[in-house]
Amino acid sequence: MSPRTVLVTGAAGGLGRAFALGFAARGDRVAVADLDAAGAAETADLAARAGAAATWSGKTDVSSVDDTTALAAEVAAFGGGRIDVVVNNAAVYAGLHRGPLEEIDPDEFDLVLRVNVKGPWLVVRACSPFLGAGSSVVNVASATVFSGSEQWLHYVSSKGAVLAMTRVMAKELGRREIRVNTLAPGFVLTEASFGHLGEDAETYGVERGALRRSSTPDDVVGACLFLAGDDARFVSGQTLVVDGGRQFL
């Protein structure tokens, strides 16, 4: 199979980096976008060493119309005029205040909605002209939508909106044979997670899972590759929860 052109946003580290390296290991052309340009460039270098057919990286604010428009054009040029996979992973999570709904700063709430909700829409809006039949979009949400995680209202609300957005995108883009799905990871051990919980992140929620261990980014990569690939060619508008069985217990 010829290499696909894959765009991963929010890929300077954490889950986004893991996704980029997963596609690289399959020999795809991997484009890495993040507000952290140095981190994006580092991910692109790691992707090249992991087997990517080619790599590209750039600084992008997904909440900006100008940035996402430029991003789509540059990635399409990198891919020979086409974008095959978009992974909408960029989101505000690290550093967010966690507390009762009465204590959430309205400005922070606006920031979360601007990046976590408007961002994925702007990326798909800009990439749409370059998506063809067989292309795939994976919007990254969170299993917190189903648990209603307390003291996290702005973040959980934004990820719930991503689920709703996916369903509309799937119907509209499906007319062009483009699939759109949601990937909803549970709590994953990333730098941002340790930033929120410190050493407690290692055991957070473990007792609530069917699989009694913590999750790492590598545990989620396979699900992303599945949704983006031909094995899921008749899967669209769906949400795949990857949380070790925490939500049904």
Q: Is the pLDDT of residue 51 over 70?
A: yes
Q: Is the pLDDT of residue 48 over 90?
A: yes
Residue 49 domain flag? yes
Confidence of residue 148 (pLDDT cuts 50, 70, 90): confident
Domain at 25, CATH number: 3.40.50.720
Q: What is the pLDDT of residue 19?
A: 98
Hey, how many other C-beta atoms are within 10 angstroms of the C-beta on 84?
A: 20
Catalytic residues: 155
Q: What is the pLDDT of residue 40?
A: 98
pLDDT digits (tens, 9 = 90+) for 99-146: 999 999 999 999 999 999 999 999 999 999 999 999 999 999 999 898
Residue 248 domain flag? no
CA 57 – CA 89 distance, rounded (Å): 15
C-alpha count within 13 angstroms, C-beta hemisphere, residue 226:
13
C-alpha count within 13 angstroms, C-beta hemisphere, residue 50:
22
CA-to-CA separations, 137 to 7, 151, 177, 181, 186, in angstroms, rounded: 10, 30, 11, 6, 20
CA 237 – CA 174 distance, rounded (Å): 9
Top-confidence residue, 71 or 247:
71
Residue 108 domain flag? yes
Q: Is the pLDDT of residue 78 over 50?
A: yes
List, as one string, the DSSP characters of 169-191: HHHHHHTTT-EEEEEEE--B--H
Residue 117 domain flag? yes
How far does CA 199 lie from the centroid of its chain? 25
Residue 186 domain flag? yes
Q: What is the pLDDT of residue 193?
A: 54
pTM of the model: 0.92
The parent domain of residue 39 ranges over 5-242
Q: What is the pLDDT of residue 200?
A: 53
Residue 249 domain flag? no
Helix axes 14-25, 37-50, angle to 10 degrees: 30
User: Reduced to 3 states, what is the DSSP secondary structure of residue 203?
Assistant: coil
Confidence of residue 47 (pLDDT cuts 50, 70, 90): very high
Residue 152 domain flag? yes
Residue 179 domain flag? yes
Q: What is the pLDDT of residue 93?
A: 86
Q: Is the pLDDT of residue 207 over 80?
A: no
Count how many residues are written for the chain. 249
Our count of domains for the chain comes to 1
